[in-house]
Structure 1
Amino acid sequence: MLNIADTLYDWCRAARPFALATVVQVSGSAPLPPGTALAVDADGTAVGSVSGGCVEGAVYELCTQVLADGGTPVLARFGYSDDDAFVVGLTCGGEIEVLVQRVEPASMPHLTGALEAVTLGRPAAMAHIVDGPEELLGRTLGVPGDGSAYDGTLGSENMDRAVAAQARALLRAGRTGLAEVGGDADTCPERLSVLVHTSAPRPRMLIFGAVDFAAALSQAGSLLGYRVTVCDARPVFATPTRFPHADEVVVDWPHRYLEHTEVDDRTAVCVLTHDAKFDIPLLRLALGLRVGYVGAMGSRRTHDHRLDLLREAGVPQSQLAFLHSPIGLDLGAHTPEETAVSIAAEIIAHANRATGLPLSRGTGPIHRRSTAGTAALGTETVPARV
């Protein structure tokens, strides 16, 4: 629905009811991805698209019907028809499933808030139940990108928490996608499919040091949905050919590049140079920024010496507490690829306030509610910056 956020926001502000048709599943060569929407208001005005033209007429008719009836949402599937591909089928040969529902803005103030955030360019997510019990179908939950509490309800507090956690994970990655929740007593007895609409740029992973470990980590970062930058002051090493998985390769002094580039509280800063002339000015700057993660490679001896140098450079202990060094989780990693997995695992654990311990050694639900204000790392709890 965020593809038509501007118009929907105007309609919501005017308390103008409308029918919303949302692509919830695609298969084959369907033209548009899940989350794409078409909306029709009471005057018959239509905005958006669900198929690039193939089935717009049929979906429009469904919208006007649902809007007039004010009844329950409708799930409709459109696929290729051998008999007449141009009537209600997709000529591309794919299939789409579309949820059509009536929206009453006056009863969904959280939708207005989420759409406002999107129109202002702020990160936000909207969780949307697209499959499950009839009485839950079409319900939504707004999840702001600033870390504040979710808005609205899907039916129960436990369900809201579980869905909000999924929405935040997708929002961090800047991806719209389906999440399966429920099917248990802790959240909801019924299994639900929730489409999480997100509006956020991809988070950044800044890797400093054009080394073999950086090549492996850039691939892992790309897999996790990060926009990866590799930076090194040495032009002979910092080349796109050596880092094909990076979105950009920059030749510059690390601290100078970091000083002038854009970061936010989802940014992961990974310092792999373990060379004091690069590390100290870079980490001194990074630890003073509002970023999600700062890690530095090196042995424990290197780490202790690095801390001494950072203290001498005036970095306060409150900032040093946020430094992940030696970088990564203890996986016994040796190769660049294993080390990249170790670092990526620590970044995931930190972002989700998780321990990084084996699940077999824990108790309680695997997907638990995050503790606000703290980040559990290993057996130690330290303040969270995000």
Structure 2
Amino acid sequence: MSVADRLLEIAHSEERAVLFTVIDGPQPGAHLLVLLDRGGETVGDAPAELAELAPEIRRNGQHEHAGLRVFAEVYGPPPRLVVVGAVDTAEALCAAAKLIGWHTICVDARSRFATRERIPSADELIVEWPDEALARIQPDHGTAIVVLTHDEKFDVPALQAALTTDAFYVGAIGSRKTQSRRRERLLEAGLSEEQLDRIHGPSGLDLGADTPAETALSILTEALAVRAGRPGTALETAPGRIHVET
């Protein structure tokens, strides 16, 4: 089957794939389509080494790999945001994420909090222990996870589960003292320092956020920056291109 035929096939599904087009190097214009949900199966005539890069690609843009400059196009479902804890900030965070086209999931084991009245913007509302829910959700490279609870019986299992996934962003709110205490508990649970270094905590950029809506904006902008591989600094002081190269 040709690359074009495969693209038509996946256009009608949520199958994840990355299409590489060679810009500079041997065979300019050659394509390689990597089907991530089919064990990395490839279609096309561009060098097969490009498939190694595919799992790390989160958005369209130029890349250099194996001596080639290529343009990568991402196909599949929209990014997912998993919010642990149906607290006030959860609704604001889900609402903000939906504005940029993300699929939102809110998880809380407490049925009195995880209601449509409290979190109407969640695409999915799951009443379940966070670690069990994450095992079913199976976060991938297109998933961000934010822990909003302030209770170790929820926080620690949720983060322990989140840090064993491929989620591109794992954030947790709370003071530095809270972050330190959580870190101790997670080390005791068997996680490594390297795994714990993935946590963005306190979650969010330093925007002076105070209200739930402001806090949600702070968290979401940090997740966006991480996804784009950007530092999240002011544009006027940023070197190089303002927009992500496409």
Fold match by TM threshold 0.5: yes
> Residue 207 of structure 1 aligns to a residue in which SS?
strand
Any residues of structure 2 matched to 1:201-220 within 5 Å, and which? 201-220=77-96
Superposed CA deviations along residues 57-95 of structure 1, whole A, max 9, x for unmatched, are xxxxxxxxxxxxxxxxxxxxxxxxxxxxxxxxxxxxxxx
Residue 168 of structure 1, CA deviation: 5.3
Superposed CA deviations along residues 131-175 of structure 1, whole A, max 9, x for unmatched, are xxxxxxxx89767576x9xx899xxxxxxxxxxxxx95369xxxx
Matching of residue 233 in structure 1 with residue 109 in structure 2: yes
The count of corresponding residues between Structure 1 and Structure 2 is: 212
The partner residue of 1:347 within 213, 223, 231 is: 223
Contact kept, 8 Å, 2:16 with 2:77, in 1: the verdict is no
Matching of residue 169 in structure 1 with residue 59 in structure 2: yes
* Alignment CA distance shift 1:316-1:263 (3 Å): same
Name the counterpart of 2:100: 224
Residue 219 of structure 1, CA deviation: 0.4
* Alignment CA distance shift 1:326-1:197 (3 Å): closer
Contact kept, 8 Å, 1:349 with 1:356, in 2: the verdict is yes
In 2: Cα distance, 1:202 partner to 1:332 partner: 29
Residue 364 of structure 1, CA deviation: 2.0
Given residue 223 of structure 2, which amino acid in structure 1 is its aligned partner? I
Residue 123 of structure 1, CA deviation: 2.3
Name the counterpart of 1:260: 136
Residue 202 of structure 1, CA deviation: 2.2
Given residue 59 of structure 2, which amino acid in structure 1 is its aligned partner? A
In 2: Cα distance, 1:242 partner to 1:206 partner: 16
Residue 241 of structure 1, CA deviation: 1.7
In 2: Cα distance, 1:311 partner to 1:328 partner: 23
Matching of residue 305 in structure 1 with residue 199 in structure 2: no
In 2: Cα distance, 1:303 partner to 1:338 partner: 21
Any residues of structure 2 matched to 1:87-126 within 5 Å, and which? 111=4, 121-124=15-18
The partner residue of 1:245 within 121, 125, 128 is: 121
Name the counterpart of 1:322: 198
> Residue 120 of structure 2 aligns to a residue in which SS?
coil
Contact kept, 8 Å, 1:114 with 1:126, in 2: the verdict is no
Q: Max radius of gyration: which structure? A: 1
Any residues of structure 2 matched to 1:261-300 within 5 Å, and which? 261-300=137-176
Superposed CA deviations along residues 212-271 of structure 1, whole A, max 9, x for unmatched, are 100100101111222111111111111012111111111111112112223211111110
TM-score scaled by length of structure 2? 0.74
In 2: Cα distance, 1:145 partner to 1:360 partner: 39
> Residue 59 of structure 2 aligns to a residue in which SS?
helix
In 1: Cα distance, 2:198 partner to 2:59 partner: 21
Contact kept, 8 Å, 2:163 with 2:196, in 1: the verdict is yes
Q: Which has the higher contact order (CA 8 A, sep 6+)?
A: 2
In 2: Cα distance, 1:297 partner to 1:250 partner: 20
Superposed CA deviations along residues 275-319 of structure 1, whole A, max 9, x for unmatched, are 111011111111011111111110111111111111111110110
> Residue 169 of structure 1 aligns to a residue in which SS?
coil
* Alignment CA distance shift 1:361-1:256 (3 Å): same
Residue 325 of structure 1, CA deviation: 0.5
Contact kept, 8 Å, 1:207 with 1:231, in 2: the verdict is yes
The partner residue of 1:364 within 216, 222, 240 is: 240
Percent of counterpart pairs with the same letter? 40
In 2: Cα distance, 1:289 partner to 1:206 partner: 12
How big is the alpha-carbon RMSD for the aligned residues of Structure 1 and Structure 2? 3.3
Contact kept, 8 Å, 1:240 with 1:248, in 2: the verdict is no
Question: Where do 5+ consecutive residues of structure 1 fail to align?
Answer: 1-8, 13-109, 128-138, 154-166, 172-195, 371-386
